[in-house]
Amino acid sequence: MTKPSARIGVYICHCGTNIAGTINVAALREFAATLPGVIVARDYKYMCSDPGQELIKADIAQHGLERVVVAACSPHLHEHTFRTACEEAGLNPYLCHMVNIREHDSWVHSGEAATAKARDLLRAAVQRVAWNRPLERRSIPIRQSVLVVGGGIAGIHAALTLANAGKKVYLVEREPTIGGHMAMFDKTFPTLDCAACILTPKMTAVKDHPNITLWTYSEVIGVEGFVGDFKVRVRRKPRYVIEDLCVGCLECIEACVYKQPKFYDEFNQGLGKRKPIYIPFPQAVPQVVVIDPETCIEFKSGKCKKTCLEACGERQAIDFGQQETIETIEVGAIILATGYKAFDASRIPYYGYGVYPNVYTALEVERLINAAGPTGGELVLRDGRKPRSVGIVHCVGSRDEHTNRWCSRVCCMYSLKLAHLVKERTGAEVYNFYIDMRTPGKAFEEFYNRVAEEGVHFIRGKVADVYPAETDGRLILRAEDTLLGQVRKIPVDMVILATGLEPQADATEVRRLFNISCSSEGWFLERHPKLAPVNTFTDGIFLAGCCQGPKDIPDTVAQAGAAAAEAMQLLDTGSIELEPNTAYVLEEVCSGCKTCVGLCPYNAISFLPEKNVAQVNEALCKGCGTCVAACPSASIRQHLFEDEQIFEEVVGVLA
Amino acid sequence: MKPKLAFYWCASCGGCEEAVVDLAEKVLDVVAAVDIVFWPVALDFKRTDVEAMPDGSIAAAFINGAIRTSEQEEMAKLLRRKARIVVAFGACAQTGGVPGLANLYDRESLLRAVYSESPSTLNPEGTRPAPHYATNGAALELPVFWDRVRALGQVIPVDYSIPGCPPTPKLLADAVAALLTGSLPERGAVLAPDKALCEECPRRESKPDKLAITRFRRPHETLIETDRCLLAQGLLCLGPATRAGCEARCIQGNMPCTGCFGATSRVRDFGAKALSSIASLTGSNDEAEIIRILENIPDPVGTFYRYSLPAAPLPGKRPNRAGK
């Protein structure tokens, strides 16, 4: 192919001093003007500003520019801006090419080397842009439904917001009930609202909402497609109870051959017991029992009297033969609200969790003081005694380079809440051991003062050790009180570890499944920490709640609302324009070797046996280039990444 | 007057000459239609005979072999002057061929290996070939051994290429016929189809839609089925990356394609392209496992660049500047 001649305009952005402070933009402009094909070269303080864009538009009209090169920041930020400016001036947007001389140059290099690199990058762009060809975007309709993954308060709020706006919502939760961590809490800080009182109406609303399809005990196992048109496969695990037939009378639980509950009760952190057939907690949604095949005699031996079946009677809701099913749904957007996992306190051996019976985690204490909990709301030690003194250790698994470096944001406040509740219920002396007291939310500091006035003790110092006293077996908390400047040893009956928040154990698998990014800690990564806090780098997938990072309930709900709004905005756009950088097969030279067919991650390539060629479905192609690189006879090419364009760029940068 | 043809060989094994001989009785048709004015392997002409011919008097010169010595370079340039059309005949002339793999080493290493280090060498004086040698009043001239092997097109302008190691007699006969009837394509063309070999492979139907190779096997390691895609059997067949036109002869002999017909016109680097495509067929997403699978491939450079190293964008070890 002969090199096309084109009239090229080059625009160099100062980005204030971001670029011009490092790169000699005047010299770069003079250099650009000498490059073959360049008709006009300019530099300007802010190319992305309206006057900057006007410069380009005016030059297209006046000089008849056929190509535009903008040397500025990352295309991620302003490629759209400059392409649109070109389009408004009558130039096909794909004849505009950006050079990143900020993130790739001025921010990471200095001195003459930075200007030299800018020259190389600019030369490459000018050489490649001559080969650019006009391209047209394709438009596809957006499916008017949203998948919400995770049924904690974040997922519940997002689902209800969307459903109330008339959108079809699929809410998928892997536990047998929705409610998440919030359903386990007793009260919420700083207002001391009863968690269940404010949560359960929303849970019921989810169940009753005509626009919400609720699938509990279910997990997403496959995601295909793209923004506007995701195809999601969901595995619905067998609960051995037919959801539509179970009325939630719980008579089967009563009738179970196990007269007493004797198995580990997950919802109550193992502090209580449940039967093989159970409901996680009284207000569980849906009100459908579940059978645990690991403990049910019928599943283990097949010789159970099946008294539960008798109790269920004509309802016939129990089905021991139930199999898992795989459902496929099609949605336009996805909200991930997969939550967090509490830090495993046994990872810090010197706090004695799992060794000394009266060392508890905060979540366990939430269950103990909850009226629906295993003790009916009585805060008692393992031996049934009421504690007369309680020590609360802050920052367990937070702000510590041996465990997690981050602040979990909620522990100070929930520790204050627990201090208040413990004092209120038991009258015990309560000692809070903290590193810094972090109370930056609305009415948080006031709550701290209130708890302090109630007589809770505060000791600024990190607990170094928890060990039993030789005399009475109480637990001694040893810490350096950094305000007093001395080591203190305080004996207590009960230790509460304020465990921090961690990414879910399977966060990495979930991240891969949905093709989004994680921070190095494992929290799902938002597209921009300030300006796109609920978006991800994958269009059409949004984040809500603690899967993105530790946060309290108000922040979680606010974020869930924001995610719902973003999804709604997307859906209401109606259609979406797809980038035209798709792959295409040169059918006349394709040998039909099928190398590409199995490689496409989007299943966009099919093999046509009658023509013995491969074919790319442009609506499915995401332009990843896998097939282009793999095609052994170079019979697949890609718009915007044509061989000539790439080679000219390489030659230009090396010239 | 019949058009004049010349055949010449440079750094080659002689296989390309066999391809001419393999025209068999068709060679009589060729000889009836043309005058062969130069063919050192078969006919007794001297260099001085060629030098005496008027420039441009030969219709076409078919040159096989790569360029390794000064003599080969001189002869290529001489034939370029005398012939109106020069055809790079065979893989060595086209892209450097098997002799081109010597570019993995510099000249000094090669000479040291051959004249000092090889176990069968007895050369206590360390004698090396020298371009000039005089003894008993007689002077002897030897060609200079260049530092690099080059494809013919890297030494003189080449009008057409006929691929193969060696090319098939059919391609030669077709080329001569096209020459005689004036139906040659645009200059620069490769005189073979521009699709990959899978197109004409007799086992095409048996190739699965998705290949996931977990172990590459060499031909001696397995009993090769005669009717199933060789890649599907784990044999490293370069057919998907290699230009068609050979009539799948190796496949018909139950051996995998080694890529002697080179790449299609759209590929700049045969080895990189073939490697990229083969690597994409490994049946694992685990990095360590992928490495283990690919380590099954012995001598990757010799496998993927067997015929094309000198013509590749990364053409081997950097030349020793003092060597040439």
Question: Which of B207, B238, B269 to substitute to test the interface with A, most A CBs within 10 Å?
Answer: B207
Pairing of strands A67-72, A583-585: unpaired
Looking at the structure, do residues A165 and A202 belong to the same domain, yes or no? Answer: yes
| % residues pLDDT > 70 (chain A) | 100
Residues of chain B contacting A644 with CB distance shorter than 8 Å: none
Residues of chain B contacting A513 with CB distance shorter than 8 Å: none
Looking at the structure, do residues A304 and A425 belong to the same domain, yes or no? Answer: no
Name the nearest CA neighbour of A47 among A62, A25, A66.
A25
- By C-alpha distance, the chain A residue nearest B195 is A589
Looking at the structure, do residues A349 and A479 belong to the same domain, yes or no? Answer: yes
Q: Please tell me the distance in Å from B241's CA to the nearest CA on chain A.
A: 4
Does residue A361 lie in a domain region?
Answer: yes
Looking at the structure, do residues A167 and A118 belong to the same domain, yes or no? Answer: no
Looking at the structure, do residues B175 and B41 belong to the same domain, yes or no? Answer: yes
Run of H or E residues at B110: helix B107-112
Q: Please tell me the distance in Å from B70's CA to the nearest CA on chain A.
A: 31
Does residue A649 lie in a domain region?
Answer: no
10 Å Cβ neighbour count for B157?
10
- What 3-state DSSP class applies to A363? helix
Question: What pLDDT score was predicted for residue A1?
Answer: 59
- CB contact under 8 Å between B241 and A589, yes or no, is no
- Confirm or reject contact between B314 and chain A (CB < 8 A): no
| % residues pLDDT > 90 (chain B) | 84
Looking at the structure, do residues A456 and A392 belong to the same domain, yes or no? Answer: yes
Residues of chain A contacting B196 with CB distance shorter than 8 Å: 591, 593, 632-633, 635
Looking at the structure, do residues A461 and A529 belong to the same domain, yes or no? Answer: no
- Confirm or reject contact between B184 and chain A (CB < 8 A): no
Question: What pLDDT score was predicted for residue B324?
Answer: 42
Question: B217 burial class (0-12, 13-18, 19+ CB within 10 angstroms)?
Answer: middle
Question: What pLDDT score was predicted for residue B323?
Answer: 44
- Confirm or reject contact between B240 and chain A (CB < 8 A): yes
Taking only the tens place, the pLDDT of each residue in A401-429 is 999 999 999 999 999 999 999 999 999 99
Question: What pLDDT score was predicted for residue A546?
Answer: 98
Question: What pLDDT score was predicted for residue B320?
Answer: 53
Looking at the structure, do residues B39 and B88 belong to the same domain, yes or no? Answer: yes
- CB contact under 8 Å between A589 and B195, yes or no, is yes
**Structure tokens given for A380:** 């008692």
279-298 of B, contacting A, C-beta below 8 A: 280-281
Looking at the structure, do residues B263 and B297 belong to the same domain, yes or no? Answer: yes
Question: What pLDDT score was predicted for residue B319?
Answer: 56
Does residue A643 lie in a domain region?
Answer: no
- Confirm or reject contact between A595 and chain B (CB < 8 A): yes
Task: Give the ranges where A454-539 is alpha helix by DSSP (H).
Answer: 507-514
Residues of chain A contacting B198 with CB distance shorter than 8 Å: 591-594
**Structure tokens given for A236:** 């619905």
- CB contact under 8 Å between B266 and A626, yes or no, is no
Looking at the structure, do residues B203 and B172 belong to the same domain, yes or no? Answer: no
End-to-end Cα spacing for chain A: 20
Q: Which of A332-336, A394-398, A476-480, B24-28 has the lowest mean pLDDT?
A: B24-28
State which of A472, A502, A532 marks the end of a domain. A502
Does residue B319 lie in a domain region?
Answer: no
Compute the distance between CA of residue A316 and CA of residue A311 in angstroms, rounded to an integer.
9
**Structure tokens given for A508:** 């990495």
Looking at the structure, do residues B158 and B256 belong to the same domain, yes or no? Answer: no
**Contact by Cβ (8 Å): A397, A345:** yes
**Contact by Cβ (8 Å): A392, A432:** yes
Looking at the structure, do residues B166 and B211 belong to the same domain, yes or no? Answer: no
Compute the distance between CA of residue A444 and CA of residue A265 in angstroms, rounded to an integer.
33
Between CA A138 and CA A149, with CA A143 as vertex, the angle to 5 degrees is 125
- CB contact under 8 Å between A592 and B199, yes or no, is yes
Compute the distance between CA of residue A43 and CA of residue A71 in angstroms, rounded to an integer.
9
Q: Which residue has the higher pLDDT, B29 or A644?
A: A644
Residue A610 to residues A84, A101, A457, A613, B205: CA-CA distances in angstroms? 42, 49, 82, 8, 12
Question: How many domains does chain A contain in total?
Answer: 5
Mean pLDDT of A453-471: 96
Run of H or E residues at B61: strand B58-64
Place of tokens 């709604």: A568
pLDDT at A138 over 90: no
Question: Which of A512, A584, A595 to substitute to test the interface with B, most B CBs within 10 Å?
Answer: A595
Compute the distance between CA of residue A40 and CA of residue A121 in angstroms, rounded to an integer.
18
Does residue A106 lie in a domain region?
Answer: yes
- Confirm or reject contact between A589 and chain B (CB < 8 A): yes
Does residue B83 lie in a domain region?
Answer: yes
Mean pLDDT of B96-121: 94
Mean pLDDT of B78-100: 97
- CB contact under 8 Å between B241 and A630, yes or no, is no
**Contact by Cβ (8 Å): A508, A521:** no
Looking at the structure, do residues B73 and B167 belong to the same domain, yes or no? Answer: yes
Looking at the structure, do residues A363 and A302 belong to the same domain, yes or no? Answer: no
Looking at the structure, do residues A474 and A360 belong to the same domain, yes or no? Answer: yes
Compute the distance between CA of residue A334 and CA of residue A538 in angstroms, rounded to an integer.
10
pLDDT at A180 over 50: yes
Phi, psi of B48 (to 5 degrees): -65, -30
Looking at the structure, do residues A393 and A450 belong to the same domain, yes or no? Answer: yes
* Structural domain of A334: 145-237+326-339+504-575
Looking at the structure, do residues A416 and A359 belong to the same domain, yes or no? Answer: yes
Name the nearest CA neighbour of B281 among B237, B220, B244.
B237
Residue B44's CATH number: 3.40.50.700
Does residue B215 lie in a domain region?
Answer: yes
Q: Nearest by CB to A633, which of B209, B266, B268?
A: B266
- By C-alpha distance, the chain A residue nearest B193 is A589
Q: Please tell me the distance in Å from A626's CA to the nearest CA on chain B.
A: 9
Question: What pLDDT score was predicted for residue A491?
Answer: 97
What are the residues whose beta carbons fall under 8 Å from the beta carbon of A155, sequence distance 6 or more?
A: A148, A149, A171, A173, A178, A180, A335, A337, A544, A545, A560
Does residue A16 lie in a domain region?
Answer: yes
pLDDT at A3 over 90: no
Q: Nearest by CB to B198, which of A591, A597, A630?
A: A591
Amino acid (1-letter code) at residue A482: T
* Structural domain of B159: 4-98+147-181
- Beta-sheet strands, E only, within A397-547: 429-434, 457-460, 463-468, 475-481, 486-492, 494-499, 501-503, 541-543
Mean pLDDT of A176-192: 96
Compute the distance between CA of residue B309 and CA of residue B244 in angstroms, rounded to an integer.
20
Residues of chain B contacting A508 with CB distance shorter than 8 Å: none
Name the nearest CA neighbour of A87 among A60, A62, A55.
A60
Does residue A299 lie in a domain region?
Answer: yes
- Beta-sheet strands, E only, within A217-271: 218-226, 229-236, 263-264
**Structure tokens given for A8:** 């090229």
Q: What is the 3-state secondary structure (H, E, C) of A139-151?
A: EEECCCEEEEECC
Question: Which of B190, B198, B214, B267 to substitute to test the interface with A, most A CBs within 10 Å?
Answer: B198
State which of A502, A530, A556 marks the end of a domain. A502
- Confirm or reject contact between A295 and chain B (CB < 8 A): no
Supply the DSSP symbol for B289. Answer: H
Question: Which of B190, B195, B238, B270 to substitute to test the interface with A, most A CBs within 10 Å?
Answer: B195
Residues of chain B contacting A598 with CB distance shorter than 8 Å: 209-212
Mean pLDDT of A348-363: 97
pLDDT at A2 over 70: no
- CB contact under 8 Å between B241 and A632, yes or no, is yes
Mean pLDDT of A31-49: 97
**Structure tokens given for A208:** 């009753």
Average pLDDT of every residue of chain A: 95
Run of H or E residues at A441: none
Does residue A648 lie in a domain region?
Answer: no
Looking at the structure, do residues B47 and B93 belong to the same domain, yes or no? Answer: yes
Q: Nearest by CB to B281, which of A586, A595, A629?
A: A595
What are the residues whose beta carbons fall under 8 Å from the beta carbon of B184, sequence distance 6 or more?
A: B85, B160, B175, B178, B191
Q: Is the ipTM of this complex over 0.85?
A: yes
Q: Nearest by CB to B210, which of A598, A633, A647?
A: A598
| % residues pLDDT > 70 (chain B) | 98
Question: Which of A508, A589, A591 to substitute to test the interface with B, most B CBs within 10 Å?
Answer: A591
Question: What pLDDT score was predicted for residue A614?
Answer: 96
**Contact by Cβ (8 Å): A604, A653:** no
- CB contact under 8 Å between A612 and B197, yes or no, is no
Residues of chain A contacting B207 with CB distance shorter than 8 Å: 593-594
Taking only the tens place, the pLDDT of each residue in A506-543 is 999 999 999 899 999 999 999 999 999 999 988 999 99
Does residue A646 lie in a domain region?
Answer: no
Pairing of strands A229-236, A263-264: unpaired
pLDDT at A549 over 80: yes
Residue A489 to residues A416, A467, B214: CA-CA distances in angstroms? 21, 10, 62
Does residue B318 lie in a domain region?
Answer: no
Looking at the structure, do residues A512 and A495 belong to the same domain, yes or no? Answer: no
Question: What pLDDT score was predicted for residue A4?
Answer: 77
**Structure tokens given for A307:** 């008294």
Compute the distance between CA of residue B79 and CA of residue B101 in angstroms, rounded to an integer.
26
Compute the distance between CA of residue B19 and CA of residue B170 in angstroms, rounded to an integer.
9
State which of A323, A358, A375 marks the end of a domain. A323
Taking only the tens place, the pLDDT of each residue in A552-608 is 999 999 999 999 999 999 999 999 888 899 999 999 999 999 999 989 988 899 999
Looking at the structure, do residues A45 and A152 belong to the same domain, yes or no? Answer: no
- What 3-state DSSP class applies to A229? strand
Residues of chain B contacting A650 with CB distance shorter than 8 Å: none
Does residue B192 lie in a domain region?
Answer: no
Does residue B112 lie in a domain region?
Answer: no
Does residue B191 lie in a domain region?
Answer: no
Question: How many domains does chain B contain in total?
Answer: 2
Mean pLDDT of B73-88: 98
- Confirm or reject contact between B165 and chain A (CB < 8 A): no
Supply the DSSP symbol for A634. Answer: S
- Confirm or reject contact between A614 and chain B (CB < 8 A): no
Looking at the structure, do residues B207 and B299 belong to the same domain, yes or no? Answer: yes
Name the nearest CA neighbour of A211 among A158, A156, A165, A149.
A165
